[in-house]
Amino acid sequence: MAPPPMATVGPLPLFRDVPVSDRQNLFMRKLQICCFQFDFSDTFKSAREKEIKRQTLLELVDLIQSGSGKIMERCQEEMIKMIGVNIFRCLPPASHENTGQEATDPEEDEAYLEPSWPHLQIVYELLLRYAVSTDTDTKVAKRFIDHSFVLKLLDLFDSEDHREREFLKTILHRIYGKFMVHRPFIRKAINNIFFRFIYEIERHSGIGELLEILGSIINGFALPMKEEHKLFLVRALIPLHKPKPVGVYHQQLSYCIIQFVEKDYELADTVIRGLLKYWPLTNCQKELLFLGELEEVLEATQSAEFQRCVVPLFRQIARCLNSPHFQVTYKCLFSLCHFGFKEFQLFEFSSIIFRNCGMWICC
């Protein structure tokens, strides 16, 4: 759908002010106006036209949300095209790419805000309302919200604007819930994003949001768990502990991991050995994260699964107890006190560890 010339961007009648027979045609005309793209680098440029588009978008949201009239299939298709025209775009380079610095925690940086958000937010709201509406027939909508559309949505998760990522998270979660036919494809596409992040770029703004979606998906897995889901744990989730910025998304990652262990205790051995494989050697802050996650895994598992990996586990605990970083040593001792020393006593630690930590242990 091509936008109208700038000179023709003007206010149109409200839906309630025209006969029912004219509303579909009016709907298409409003979509045309909403396809027009504006320059938001200058606040005052085309201010009147920007406001007309904003008000038109709001009216479309109200129409979809109210369910006051059935929208023809052709109009639905053109609406999805209009949404795509607005949201699918080349994202600006990440802030650290402009400076040549490594990616850091977004919370420590000045937040990037998309200049076109006054319009973009309403377009996302329109897509969300369409996805959740009880009037939306998935048999019809899946022809417009197809695999190509979903892939483009997933590409936008790399946006540095946290507001956009939050909308995308909610929308993709709703699409996953409503369009059952897309579920395997969405899981595979997210898996591919993780692979590229882990093994190629180690930079992506939306890993945390994607993991939040997966946390809900994993929670709904039926038992016994499918082999493909276990492979996803082994090939994608556990290796996500490897990238340097793991601290940015570790909370969401840990939640997903624990969900797997709680659903299938036998996976505890796989998870613990995976944590040991990617255990940080010099970064004490990452070690604290790993120790916290390990403690949660042990809380969720059974003794039999724990016994299968007790030797490599306590080798790592021995190294942590002998760490030069007091926080790592303290966290490790706290975990041992929490779980008791039955397994701890099975292992012979070096005299250095007992000399440094023996008094703490006795306490």
For 27-50, give one letter per residue: b (16+ CB within 10 A) or e: bbebbbbbbbebebeeeeebeebb
Evaluate whether residue 218 is within a structural domain: no
Does residue 346 register a pLDDT over 50? no
Query: If DSSP codes are grouped into helix, strand and coil, which group holds residue 128?
Result: helix
Instruction: Provide the pLDDT confidence category of residue 2 given band limits of 50, 70 and 90.
Output: low
DSSP annotation string for 253-319 = HHHHHHHHHHH-TTHHHHHHHHHHHT--SS-HHHHHHHHHHHHHHHHHS-HHHHHTTHHHHHHHHHH
Provide the pLDDT for residue 274.
Answer: 97
356: which residues sit within 8 A by CB, 6+ positions away? 321, 322, 329
Please spell the DSSP secondary structure of 33-100, one letter per residue. Answer: HHT-----SSTTTTHHHHHHHHHHHHHHHHHHHHT-SPPPHHHHHHHHHHHHHHH--PPPPPHHHHHT
Average pLDDT along the chain = 88
Query: pLDDT at position 204, please?
Result: 97
How far lies 101's CA from each of 94, 96, 106, in Å?
10, 5, 13
How far apart CA 261 and CA 84 sit, in angstroms, is: 39
Would 290 be classed as within a structural domain?
A: no
31-35, 188-192, 339-343: lowest mean pLDDT where?
A: 339-343
* Region of poorest pLDDT, from 46-55, 94-103, 198-207, 234-243: 94-103
Residue 140 lies in a domain: yes
User: Residue 195: how many CB atoms within 10 A of its CB?
Assistant: 13
Does residue 164 contact residue 200 with C-beta atoms inside 8 Å? no
In a domain, 214, yes or no: no
In a domain, 182, yes or no: no
Are residues 284 and 325 in contact, defined by beta-carbon separation less than 8 angstroms? yes
pLDDT of residue 95: 67
Q: Answer yes or no: is pLDDT of 323 > 60.
A: yes
41 found inside a domain:
yes
Q: Is residue 221 part of a domain?
A: no
Residue 253, C-beta contacts closer than 8 angstroms, at least 6 positions apart: 211, 237, 240, 241, 246
Q: Which of 223-232, 322-331, 352-361 has the highest mean pLDDT?
A: 223-232
**CA-CA-CA-CA torsion sign (41, 45, 51, 57):** negative
For residue 34, is it within any domain? yes
Q: Is residue 41 pLDDT above 80, yes or no?
A: yes
Pull the structure tokens for residue 20: 């029912």
The tokens of 194 are what? 């993780």
Domain count of the chain?
A: 1
Q: Which residue has the higher pLDDT, 335 or 75?
A: 75
Enter the tokens of residue 140. Answer: 């019809």
Q: What pLDDT was estimated at residue 345?
A: 46
Residue 133, domain extent: 1-88+117-145
How many residues are recorded in the chain? 363
Q: How far apart are CA 197 and CA 243, in angstroms?
A: 8
Least confident range from 75-84, 286-295, 299-308: namely 299-308
User: Within 13 Å and on the Cβ side, how many CA atoms surround 182?
Assistant: 24
